[in-house]
Each structure stands twice: as structure tokens, then as C-alpha cells.
Structure 1
Amino acid sequence: MTAETDVVVIGAGASGLAAGTRLRQAGISFRILEAASAPGGRAATDTATLGVPFDLGCHWLHDARANPFTALAARLGFRVGATNPSPRRLHLGARFATPAEKAQADAQVDQVFAAVIAAGRAGRDVAAAEVAGPSGRFGPLARHWLELMSAAGPDSISCADFAFYHDTDDNWPVLDGYGALVLAAAGVLPVALDCPVSRIDRSGARLRIETAQGSLTCHKVIVTVSTAVIASGRLAFAPALPPDMAEAFAALPLGFAEKVALAFEEDVFGVPERTALDAIDLDHPARAGASALLKPGGAPAALVHVAGPEAQAIAADGEGALVAFALDVLGAAFGAGLKTKVKRSRVTRWADMPYIGGAYSCALPGRAGLRARLHEPLERRIFFAGEALGREAFSTCHGAHLSGLAAAEAVLAALKSTR
């Protein structure tokens, strides 16, 4: 590849595709370069493993009433579940919780979250573990939900960052697949696949983008790759990034959150479609927790969500270890016999993907303010976007989408001012 273009977009995830749609609308010459063999990034829908669509990454329309993908789903004919799943069930290692225990557990989770948010809003950029209070009987469940929300352990979650996130109760699933929706909304764009970018050379009058398929030059670049890719040096800059910007990327690591998809020969659960299950072991509170969605799309299947350092330790033993853990969790609740009725399984490996490197960003304690640094372009030529730059919607697909649109608008304004 040897070419010239006005703008290069690095990454064809939700933010890169959003930037591309805006540049296409403006009639600007641009190219999107994607390291993977398919577009979408962490927005990816699988339709084969379970026989029904399920998302390997983002699944929920967070803040759904204000989420731009809600209107896009309606326009494109994607089904959305405008209600939450059936009431969540709680399994305590050996039995299901009583209604009173479930209420007590929910209250403790709410109490921990309220303490973390209150500390953050008071300007305390400290670890969530510092303000969560005594563990209490259902402390492991509160820890599990902090880890699901942030993909990090309570010691690595900034209260200020956690409090900055805008949350509502409007979290609706995209029943036909959020990843599929992201691709449909983008339409046909000039995306070069299997084209990882190794370096952005900013030493000359034009930016030089070095890729596995050759080099190209451009006036502006929108970088939408994950913070982990930049912090690790997989995407390098010459000259190097300013120290404060490099510090900001390092301060927003991607945590660990994965899914185990399990298809069974028959219905092994006997529960309504899309039943939600949380599982913790009160006898072994240090063990990883899990959350599962049972019978998605009515299929005899389960999606088991794990997150945080305890789950990451299990994953260190390989994909089979995560499958075994998921089956142990489900078997404890619905009978070990279900382990003999597994037809197919699939485990996400976001943390192991070299051009992604984790789940979603979470600011380290004491570093929450550094998110804002990434919203500033470098030399008015290099602009950044992605879920880490979704402002109060960070870590979400729609936050990534909005950041891509904002970066494209900034690029268009910069190009106009120089012409």
C-alpha cells in the first residue's frame, strides 16, 4: 500500500466506523485501517455457536432512551428488548437465596456502589476498596458487580472515574446483536482489513502511516485503537507521544471481562427465556463470582459473564478452565448432569487479542482526571477516539460511537481552517 489521502482512521470498531460515516457524509477522502480480519472491534455478534445471535462484546444499549443506537435499531429493523430480563436469581454456592437474602444482598450492593459514587463526587480519586466499607455477608457479590462494571478489581477502580460514568436503569439488550447493529449502521466504508498500523511518523509535513500492507500519507489521522494498544507500544509514534499524553493512556488500562457461551442439547434450566443469574460462593468468598443469562433468544443455552482479577486467574490456565468454571457455576445451581449435555462452547479472549488487549477502560486510582487529556488533539493533526473517550459514557459502545463522530467533526474543522 502506497497512497495519499486526506484522513486515515485507525481502527474499524464502533468509533472508527462512526468517524468514517461522518467523513463519508462530508465527501472527504479517507481510509480506515483495521488490524483484524473483520470490522467491528469489540462490537461483534456470533450467530452460529448458540443458534441465536449473541454478542461477544457489547450487548446492552446503556442509557437506552438517549442512546443513538436505539433510534438506529428502530430504523434498521433490529429488535430491542425494552425491558430488563426477568428478576435476577441469586445462587449462593450450594442453594438459591431466599427472597429475604436476595433483598439483603441487593441492599448491600447498592450501599457499596453508593459509597463509591459519593466518594468520587466528593472529589476523592481513591480506590473503590478504600471506601466500600466492611465486606459484610454479601461483600463478594458487591465486589463481583464492581468488577463487572469496571472489568477491574476494587483496588484498581478510581472512585472519581466510577462516579463520572452516567448510568440509568435503561439498559436494553439488542436481541439481534449489538455488533451486527454497529456494522449495519455504518454501511459500506473503505476499510482495509488485516492491516495493523505499526507507527505514525509525524516528523514531516504530512503524516506517514506505516502498516503491514505498506505506507500511506495523510493530512490528519483519527486513532481509535484501545488504550492498551498505545500504552503497550504496539502502535508507536515518531517522535514519541508527549509524556503527559503517554501517561494518560497508561492510566486507563483495559480490564478483564470475558464471556463463556454454552449451547446444550436440551433445556437444562427450566426457567423463562432470558433469566438472569448471579452466583457467588459464601463459603469461599475469595472465589470469582459469575453472572449468567439463561436461554437467550429462547435457546437451550447460557452466556456466563466473568470479570476481574479472580476470573483472570482462572483464565490463565486456558480457555478450558473458563469453560469448566462456567459449567461448575451452572451445575451447582441446576445439577451437574448438564455438563454431559454441552453441544458447543465459545470463550471470548479480548485480553489475549494483541490489537485490543482487554475489555474496557477503567482509570487507576489517582488518575481519573487524565481521561480529559486524550480529548486534546496532538499538533491539530492526530485526533483520538474510542470507548475510553466516551466522556460520561466511557466503556460503552455508544460512547465510542459518539467519540468517533466528535473526532471526525474536529478533523473537518481543522481541514477547513487550513484550506
Structure 2
Amino acid sequence: MSYTRRDILKLAALVSLSPWLPACAPNDPNTPTIKPTTTSNSPVTSDSTPQVIVIGAGIAGLAAAAKLQANGYRVQIIEGRDRIGGRIWTSRTWNDMPVDLGASWIHGVTQNPLTDLADTARIERTPTDYENSLVYTMDGEELDDAAVEQLEEQLVTLLDAVAELVEDTDDMSLAAAMQQVLVEQAESIDQPRLNFSINSTIEHEYAADVEELSAQYWDNDGEVVGGDVIFLDGYDQILDQLTADLTIHTGQPVNAINYTAESITITTNTTTFEAEHVIITVPLGVLKQGRIQFTPPLDATKTDAITLLGSGLLNKTWLRFPTAFWPKEPEIINYIDEQKGRWAEFLNIYHYTDSPILLGFNAGSYARMLESRSDAEIIADGMQVLRTIYGQEIPDPEAWQITRWGADPYAFGSYSFLGVGATDALRDDLAQPIAGRLFFAGEATERTYPSTVHGAYLSGLRAADEVMQA
């Protein structure tokens, strides 16, 4: 097991902000207004029957469709939402400030295909310096550099010991492995500080609690190279590079795929489509919920992969204030609470844009708990943390946008992880084509760069290649 990857590379700053996520609360005045995609919702006629149907207009589906169409294939995309992008979702509710409710970063800009897309379109990007961060305690005190370094060393030592332990044991949760290592040190450990390190470095990265993650395989994916960048004008600019001349049917959630006959039939809530080949790019969470009925049913290898791979949760809370009561530095504001995972990270948007905005992250079980609460309760909880740091006199936010990816019926989670009993080989099983007719793409099918936007993009290109070779 190796942890010299994107999360541990950022360990010196004790933060690992993730690439994916999230879905706004329904009936909320701050919920983004979605612009309908200029596409067709009409049934496919015999004259326009495509060779390939792509299910899902996230970046995996768009990449697959664009590549196939460029190679002369007749392609159409079916999308359940009334927008494109999937877990890339740029809200433009605030006229002066695009808000990414889903993906935020290109992780590892070197030799990253998204960098090439952004370069070609001359899209402006801003680097994130994870070392430009501060850590506050539940007493509102700022940790000094020595204390932060001690936290870093403590976690690295712990992960080294866990890696050695699991070499000779059956799989267990990462939490259980940590507990075994720490059993003789329990009295000397500052548990809230250790929990903060674990949550901000591991649980935010993988959108899952260490109680859920496999001790053997939790970080068994490829190392990214180069820094991370964000799109101040919105991640949806990347989508614009892929959608030219594509036919996309929005508002068409798929509920059945029948591949018994020579022509595959796809049934949505309102109509049916037919094609020779189908690429399925819906999120793992949707497959786990059984929202699509397959005829004949998927085989055991495929269903085992769907069952054993985990669908994690990382949610965002964008808070806009009348004025900034916090400094322009740092880029990251961290908080240590008695309860693990409680508002451990804020991205300082004010640092990048001069707008008085903070972006809070919550992951795993704490994110799931918050999803069941009202916007007012979520904001009150976050403000209690901010008032601990900056004082009771600070104002309430004047606007907000809150994501609930776990409740989103087109996602049921943020991105995938490897839980206890799972291995990265399951991603290959999920990606495996069926009879040269059904193909699968999406971040959960990407073994080297799962849980990332560029991983999803690469999976779409791979699925397109498989169709062309079928």
C-alpha cells in the first residue's frame, strides 16, 4: 500500500479537498435555477436511429460521444436531468460569481487531459496552495507551525504502521487497523487532533469514513503529478469543449435496458430509444439503487462490483456574507472539533475573488447527518464553528448554496471508494463490456484515477475505443 499520492502530497497542509460533488436542496430560494439544455426531447425516428446511445451527459458520456462522433459514428446521448454535466454543476444563481456545486479542481495538472482541454480553450485557472492554510482549535486558538508539523508527523507515522500491519492480515477497515496500531498509545493521544488529521486528509479525499474504507486498498490508485487548479469562471467551461454538434436528449431518465434482441431498447419515463451499442455512464450510486432494470439481468461479476464498491459523500456549503470578517490569507481555514468531521475545512473564496464567500466541506457520516437537516440548521451549525474562530459578532450569511449529493436521484452519492472487502479489480469488473454491446464508463470504472474528473473523462474515451473495436 502506498500513500504518496494526492492526499498525502498535501499532508503538510493537513488538507485534501476533493474533486467532485453535490446537489442543492429542493424548494430552497438559494437553489440554482437550471438553464434547460438546447437539445431534443423528441422520440428517435427510424431515419435517425443511432448506432450508439450514451446514457448520461456527465463528462464520461460527453467524452465518449464526442470521440465516437468524430470517428463517424451516429451517436445520441440520453440524460435524466434537465441539464448536462452530471457531477460537474456550475450554478450561476449569483450573477457576479459562478459557483461550482460539483467538481472544483483539476487534480494534478501535469499530463492531465483536462489541462489540454483548458489550454486549447484558453480557460483561466487559478492554483490552490494547500500550504497556505491555518488550523484552529475548538477554543478558537490558532495552532502554531510546530503543532501543525506534529499533527503531520503523527499521521504519517500512523499510516506507516498501518501499512506494515495489513501486509500480513486479512482486510479490515482502516479505522480498525488504526485502532490496533494505537492501542498502546491511547492515553497519550489527543483524539480530536488526530481525528481532524484523519478526516481532513483521508475522509474528505475519499468521501467516506475510515470505518468504511478498506485498510488494504483505500488508496490503491495512481499518483497525480503537478499542482491543483480551480476554475474561477466555472468548471462548466470544460463541458463546452465537448458538446459541439452532439445530440443530447435531456429530461429522459432511463429505467430499463433490454439487450435481448439484435437492437438494444432503452426505455425512459416518456419514450423508447434503440441502438446497436449502448454506453452506460450513470454514477455508481444509481446502479447500486437499481434504478435501471437490465434484461437479461447483469451477471454476478457485474452485480458484485456494483455491490462491493462504495459510493461516498462529500457536500459543499457556499456561504456569502455582506462583508468579509476573516483575512484574505490563508487559502484554507481548518477547524478541529470534538466531533470528528464537523466543518473541518473551508476554502477561502475571498482570497481568489475579493467576494466575501467561504466554501465549507463536510464528508462521510457527518455529511450524511447534515443532509437530513434544513438549510437553516446546516447554516447554524457552520456559523457556530465560524463564531468559535472569529467571534460572536460576525454576521450571518446573506445567501447560500447547499449541496445534498446523497439525496440526488441522479447520483446517490459523490464518488466511489474501496470499502472493506473491495479491491481495485472491481473497477475493471464494472468496466467490462457485455457481449460487445453494453459498455460502461464513469469514474467508478477507472482503476488508475477513480473519483476524479479526469478519471471519468479517460473512462469515456476508453469506452469509445471499445465500441470502435467491437
Q: Identify which of 455, 461, 464 aligns with 1:405.
A: 461
1:85 Cα shift? 4.6
**Does 2:137 align with 1:92?**
yes
1:198 Cα shift? 0.5
Contact 2:98 2:234 in 1 (8 A): no
**Residue aligning to 1:239:** 296
1:112 Cα shift? 4.0
In structure 2, the residue corresponding to 1:159 is in which secondary structure?
coil
Which stretch has the larger CA shift, 168-177 or 21-30?
168-177
In structure 2, the residue corresponding to 1:208 is in which secondary structure?
strand
In structure 1, the residue corresponding to 2:458 is in which secondary structure?
helix
The code of the aligned residue for 1:230 comes to L
**Does 2:127 align with 1:127?**
no
1:280 Cα shift? 1.5
1:332 Cα shift? 1.5
**Residue aligning to 1:357:** 412
Cα separation, 2, equivalents of 1:373 and 1:126: 22
Q: Please list, as runs of the form range in 1=range in 2, the aligned pairs for 1:164-183 lying within 5 A after superposition.
A: 164-168=220-224, 170-177=226-233, 179-183=235-239
**Does 2:84 align with 1:29?**
no
Deviations 1:273-327 (A, max 9, x none): x62011121xx24462421011242211100011011232232223333222222
1:97 Cα shift? 1.2
1:86 Cα shift? 5.6
Q: Identify which of 413, 430, 435 aligns with 1:374.
A: 430
Shift in alpha-carbon separation, 1:116–1:359, aligned structure 2, 3 A: farther
Shift in alpha-carbon separation, 1:118–1:36, aligned structure 2, 3 A: farther
Contact 1:43 1:178 in 2 (8 A): no
User: Relative to total residues, which structure has the larger helix share, 1 or 2?
Assistant: 1
In structure 2, the residue corresponding to 1:326 is in which secondary structure?
helix
In structure 2, the residue corresponding to 1:278 is in which secondary structure?
strand
**Residue aligning to 1:109:** 155
The code of the aligned residue for 2:336 comes to I
Deviations 1:325-368 (A, max 9, x none): 2222222112233343x121010111111111111101221112
1:238 Cα shift? 1.2
Shift in alpha-carbon separation, 1:81–1:2, aligned structure 2, 3 A: closer
**Does 2:417 align with 1:344?**
no
Contact 1:229 1:355 in 2 (8 A): yes
Cα separation, 2, equivalents of 1:122 and 1:405: 38
1:109 Cα shift? 3.2
The code of the aligned residue for 1:43 comes to I
Cα separation, 2, equivalents of 1:252 and 1:202: 25
Q: Percent identity?
A: 27
**Residue aligning to 1:417:** none
Which stretch has the larger CA shift, 118-127 or 16-25?
118-127
Which stretch has the larger CA shift, 112-121 or 199-208?
112-121
In the alignment of these two chains, the number of paired residues is: 410
* TM-score using structure 2 length: 0.82
Q: Identify which of 298, 310, 331 aligns with 1:253.
A: 310
In structure 2, the residue corresponding to 1:371 is in which secondary structure?
helix
In structure 2, the residue corresponding to 1:338 is in which secondary structure?
coil
The code of the aligned residue for 2:295 comes to A
RMSD: 2.2
Contact 1:124 1:159 in 2 (8 A): no
Contact 1:50 1:262 in 2 (8 A): no
Shift in alpha-carbon separation, 1:109–1:167, aligned structure 2, 3 A: farther
Deviations 1:256-276 (A, max 9, x none): 21000011111111233x620
Which stretch has the larger CA shift, 387-396 or 93-102?
93-102
Cα separation, 2, equivalents of 1:144 and 1:83: 20
In structure 2, the residue corresponding to 1:221 is in which secondary structure?
strand
Cα separation, 1, equivalents of 2:107 and 2:164: 21
* TM-score using structure 1 length: 0.92
Deviations 1:38-77 (A, max 9, x none): 1001111224348323321111111221211112112212
Cα separation, 1, equivalents of 2:164 and 2:117: 34
Shift in alpha-carbon separation, 1:178–1:51, aligned structure 2, 3 A: closer
**Residue aligning to 2:284:** 227
Shift in alpha-carbon separation, 1:277–1:116, aligned structure 2, 3 A: farther
Q: Identify which of 86, 103, 107 aligns with 1:58.
A: 103
Cα separation, 2, equivalents of 1:160 and 1:128: 8
Cα separation, 2, equivalents of 1:80 and 1:35: 30
Shift in alpha-carbon separation, 1:354–1:412, aligned structure 2, 3 A: same
